[in-house]
Amino acid sequence: MKVFQNNIFPFGSYVAINLFGLVLSRRPLSKEERNHEYIHTLQQRELLWIGFYLWYLIEWLVRLIQSFNFSTFKFSAKRAYYTISFEREAYLHQNNLDYRHHRPFWAWRKHLKK
C-alpha cells in the first residue's frame, strides 16, 4: 500500500482516501490510520476492487436512508459513513496493528447487521 500526501484531495474533513490500494492523504498518517487504510485495501482485494466500490456506494445509500431523522427531517451523511460495514470493521480494528495478519476472509460481513 502506497501513501501519497498532498494538499488537495480528499476534500472536506476527510483525511485520507484509499483508491485501489493507493492512499491519498492531506497530512502524514498515524500507524493506526495507515492500518485503517490497509484494512480497506484487504477488503478491496476480496471484492476485486470494483465490487468494493459498488458495495460501498450502495451500502452508503442504504445507511443514508436509515439515518433519516423524522424529528429534524434531515439525513446524516456522517452517520451513514460510520455505519458502513467496511468502515465499522476498519475503525474497530485500526488500533490492533496485528489484525491484518489474522483477519478472517470477508470479515467485514460480520459488521453488516448492526
Residues of this chain that bind Zn ion (CB under 5 A): 87, 90
**What is the number of the residue whose Cβ is closest to Zn ion?**
90
Q: Give the C-alpha separation, 44 to 108, whole Å.
A: 11
**Cβ closer to Zn ion: 75 or 88?**
88
Report in angstroms how near the CB of residue 95 gets to Zn ion at its nearest.
14
Sign of torsion over alpha carbons 44, 50, 51, 57: positive
Report in angstroms how near the CB of residue 37 gets to Zn ion at its nearest.
7
**Cβ closer to Zn ion: 14 or 68?**
14
Alpha-helix residue ranges (DSSP H) falling in 1-114: 31-46, 50-66, 77-83, 85-93, 99-102
Report in angstroms how near the CB of residue 36 gets to Zn ion at its nearest.
5
